[in-house]
């Protein structure tokens, strides 16, 4: 698996923007403001939910471009897991934490473990250089 220059640039820009945001929080004294932190927590979870839902949509759209039914089903299953993971972030905002109630923690952990398994399946089925 190769990392492209574009990916490196995007990740670097993301890291620098996160660093700048952290420095701004520290310099402005906003980090001591509990209400601001609560707002950041809530908004951050909603942003995460949207992000995971966008991943779900991308996997769903890509599934219809896959040549085999098995590959289509795998992508649709991955889309479902990403959607459920995003939905768990919305529930997290309502409950106040990812660890409470206990079933929310299990929900999130199940999604993470399943996504790791999906990635493992993808990695195992990558065509090797010797196949071509």
Tens of pLDDT, residues 101-122 = 999 999 999 999 999 999 999 9
Q: What is the 3-state secondary structure (H, E, C) of the chain?
A: CCCCHHHHHHHHHHHHHHHHHHHHHHHHCHHHCHHHHHHHHHHHHHHHHHHHHHHHHHHHHHHCCCCCHHHHHHHHHHHHHHHHHHHHHHHHHHHCCCCCCHHHHHHHHHHHHHHHHHHHHHHHCCCCHHHC
**Distance (Å, whole) CA 75 – CA 78:** 5
Give the chain's largest Cα–Cα span. 58
- Decide if pLDDT at 40 tops 90: no
Mean residue pLDDT across the chain: 87
Confidence of residue 33 (pLDDT cuts 50, 70, 90): low
- Decide if pLDDT at 2 tops 70: no
The three-point CA angle 48-78-15 to 5° equals 35
Confidence of residue 7 (pLDDT cuts 50, 70, 90): confident
**In 3D, which of 76, 87, 80, 5 has the Cα closest to residue 46?**
87
**Distance (Å, whole) CA 94 – CA 32:** 23
Residue percentage of the chain with pLDDT more than 70: 89
- Report the pLDDT value the prediction gives residue 98, as an integer from 0 to 100: 86
Answer yes or no: are the C-beta atoms of 52 and 89 closer than 8 Å.
yes
- Decide if pLDDT at 131 tops 70: no
């Amino acid at each position: 698996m190769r990392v492209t220059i574009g990916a490196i640039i995007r990740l670097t820009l993301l890291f620098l923007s996160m660093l700048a945001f952290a420095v701004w929080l520290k310099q402005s004294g906003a980090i001591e403001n509990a209400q601001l932190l609560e707002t950041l927590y809530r908004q951050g979870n909603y942003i995460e939910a949207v992000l995971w839902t966008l991943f779900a949509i991308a996997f769903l759209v890509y599934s219809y471009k896959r040549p085999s039914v098995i590959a289509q089903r795998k992508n649709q299953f991955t889309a479902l897991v990403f959607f459920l993971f995003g939905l768990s972030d919305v529930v997290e905002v309502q409950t106040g934490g990812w660890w409470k109630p206990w079933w929310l923690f299990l929900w999130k952990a199940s999604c993470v473990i399943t996504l790791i398994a999906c990635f493992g399946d993808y990695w195992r089925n990558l065509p090797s250089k010797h196949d071509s």
